[in-house]
Amino acid sequence: MGKENKSLKLNMLLNAIKNLMAVVFPLISFPYVSRTLGVESLGQYNFATAVIAYIVLIAGLGIETYAIREGAKVREDKLKIGQLASQVFSINVLSSVFAYAILAVLLLLVPKFQEYTLPLLILSTQVAFLTIGVNWVFSIYEDFLFVTVRSIIFQLLAIIAMFVFIKDSNDVVIYCIITASVIAVSNLINFFVARKYCKIKFTFNLELKTHLKPILILFVSIASITIYTSSDTVVLGFICGEYSVGIYAVSHKIYAIVKSVLFSAIVVSIPRMAMLLGKNDSEEISNTASTILHTTLIVVIPTIIGLIALSEEIITLLSGTDYISAVPSFIILSVAIIFCLGGYFWGHAVLIPQKEENFYLIVTIISAIVNVGLNFILIPFYGVEAAAFTTLIAELVAFLMCYFKGRKYVNTKGTVKTLIKSIIASLVIIPVVLASKYLFSNMILYVIVSVVLSVILYLVLSIILKNQAVMSLFSALKNKINRKSKHPENS
């Protein structure tokens, strides 16, 4: 058991490193790419990427999630895992052929897509390579070391290639080639390494009656999420053109990076909730969920206010003054973060462990319909800001549905107090930012001063206001430090 715990801790550490690098690398590459390509070329790339995301979605179905779930059950049986892997791989090959057929039809019939033929064709190569890459094999066998090392190496190579080969706004095709090449080579390596775990070959013995229904159920859920995360970019590209997509790409990219960092706090709690559910300890489940909720609030509220207060500086530092018109959409998306994280908490940390995945599927479908519908109604009139606003509304709808369904499983006592005290303490950020701007002329300097002072004053005010969530966090850290000092051999 001790060995299994060490393995689990190692996997969690490796996954954390992988996720951290997924945030760090874009922070390095995106400022350079956005400045070098310019607004319109960046818009072209992001429009093509958003379209190909749907082709990848169709090719992938729900195969990866299904393969991991079913493969983990039979991974010790070489015959069964080989049979399952071959069948899943073969279904994936056929779905990829179908996805390419759809892309071909779109290129022939839709004039807007014909303008992007070369970027779309280059980026579409990832469909084939993601299929042969069989990433799910490494998850089945928990080979997170290989996945993490490979991910870091190829992200680093991609960044080097961007700095070497992308020199001006005419290099959007080169950017597409770099993106596609990294995916191609990394997945080719995957294919050969995966053979040490199981033999995978194409077969017509697909056993569709067994596999197809659960795959399609997973596909609908994944498709709904993809639709309402990508539809704003696609609709914006059709109606408003590359410039608007380029502006929106900046605000949405920063929003996605911040969101992924904050998500990590909730993600690590999901296994704990599932474990407690297995023990049928409803009281502990409720209290643990309450702790996660309060801890999330005390981090998210000051983050949102800080992002809004420094929105102009964040956009300028990461992308340059050419993208300053992205500030309004970035502010709207910053507000959306609280609903996005709230929906994720009530959905993934509460409802799914409680086996309410069918309800969560309905939530994602409704959110997707709301987002796409509002995109077509509002974007023609309000452009980039409308794209951000529809995302906010979709996240709000998902949050409210999950909250009203999931609140019976969580002890929400004191949540409103925590929320109010967090908002009051966070308001100190605004005068700190204004004072820093007045005192320091260098933008980087006053942003750093603003962030550091804001964190310190927020924590001090939270303690003065007796925000229990903040005080509990300090208490937990203090206890952990004391335990480590008394038992250094366990650290």
pLDDT tens for 419-434 read 999 999 999 999 999 9
> What was the pLDDT predicted at 436?
92
DSSP letter at 325 equals G
* Dist. CA 409–CA 405, nearest whole Å: 9
Burial class (CB in 10 A: 0-12, 13-18, 19+), 291: middle
**Residue 17 confidence (pLDDT):** 67
> Does 7 map to a domain?
yes
Nearest-CA neighbor of 92 among 123, 53, 58, 141? 58
Q: Both 337 and 390 in a single domain?
A: yes
Q: Are residues 461 and 378 in the same domain?
A: no
The burial of 490, by beta-carbon neighbours within 10 Å (0-12 exposed, 13-18 middle, 19 or more buried), is given as exposed
- What's residue 476's pLDDT? 66
Q: What local confidence, expressed as pLDDT, does residue 488 receive?
A: 55
pLDDT of residue 29: 85
Rounded average pLDDT over 138-155: 81
pLDDT digit string (tens) for 121-140? 999 999 999 999 888 888 78
The answer to whether residue 156 sits within a structural domain is: yes
More confident residue, 149 or 389: 389
Same domain, residue pair 199 and 57: yes
Residue 142, classed as helix, strand or coil, is coil
Domain holding 81, by residue range, is 1-206
Residue 120 has pLDDT above 90, yes or no: yes
Domain-located, residue 187? yes
1 has pLDDT over 60 = no
pLDDT score for 274: 55
Q: Is residue 216 part of a domain?
A: no
Band the pLDDT of 207: cuts 50, 70, 90.
confident
Give the mean pLDDT of the chain.
85
Mean per-residue pLDDT for 100-106? 95
pLDDT at 281: 64
Helix, strand and coil percent figures for the chain, each rounded to 5:
90, 0, 10
Decide which of 427 and 76 is more confident: 427
pLDDT score for 8: 47
Across the range 56-77, mean pLDDT stands at: 82
Boundary of a domain, candidates 413, 434, 459: 413
pLDDT category at 397 given cuts 50, 70, 90 is: very high
Residue 44 lies in a domain: yes
Q: Which of 422, 413, 483 lies closest to 295, judged by CA?
A: 422
For position 477, what pLDDT does the model report? Answer: 67
Residue ending a domain, choose from 364, 397, 413 = 413
- CA nearest to 443, candidates 295, 350, 310, 298: 310
Averaged pLDDT for residues 98-108: 95
HEC per residue, 214-272? HHHHHHHHHHHHHHHHHHHHHHHHHHHCHHHHHHHHHHHHHHHHHHHHHHHHHHCCHHH
Do 198 and 58 lie in a common domain? yes
One domain for residues 398 and 420: no
Q: 468 and 489: one domain?
A: yes
Farthest-apart Cα atoms in the chain, separation: 72
pLDDT tens-digit profile of 152-178?
888 889 999 999 999 998 999 999 999
Please indicate, yes or no, if residue 234 is contained in any of the structural domains.
no
* Tally of structural domains, the chain: 3
The rounded percent of the chain whose pLDDT value lies above 70 is 88
Compare 266 and 234 and report the one with higher pLDDT: 234
Q: What is the DSSP letter of 68?
A: H
394 and 421, same domain (yes or no):
no
What tens digit of pLDDT does each residue of 332-381 get?
999 999 999 898 888 877 887 677 878 888 898 899 899 999 999 999 99
The torsion angles phi and psi of 313, rounded to 5 degrees, stand at -65, -40
Category of 427 on φ-ψ map: left (φ > 0), alpha (ψ -120 to 50) or beta: alpha
Q: How far apart are the C-alpha atoms of 326 and 436, rounded to whole Å?
A: 23
**Pick from 413, 433, 468: which residue ends a domain?**
413
Q: Which pLDDT does position 268 carry in this prediction? A: 54
Give the DSSP letter of residue 408.
G
Summarize the confidence of residues 50-57 as an average pLDDT. Answer: 90
Phi and psi for 260 in degrees, rounded to 5? -65, -35
Q: How many CB atoms lie within 10 A of CB 66?
A: 22
440 and 397 housed in the same domain: no
| 225 located within any domain | no
Confirm whether 432 is domain-assigned.
yes
The pLDDT of residue 3 is 45
Residues 331 and 295 in one domain: yes
Per residue in 247-295, pLDDT (tens digit) is: 998 898 888 888 877 776 665 555 556 556 656 667 777 777 788 888 8
Q: Comparing 56-60, 109-113, 217-221, 410-414, which segment has the lowest mean pLDDT?
A: 217-221
- Shared domain for 282 and 390, answered yes or no, is yes
When pLDDT is averaged across residues 182-188 and rounded to a whole number, the result is 92
Q: Are residues 288 and 172 in the same domain?
A: no
- Residues 453, 482, single domain; the answer is yes
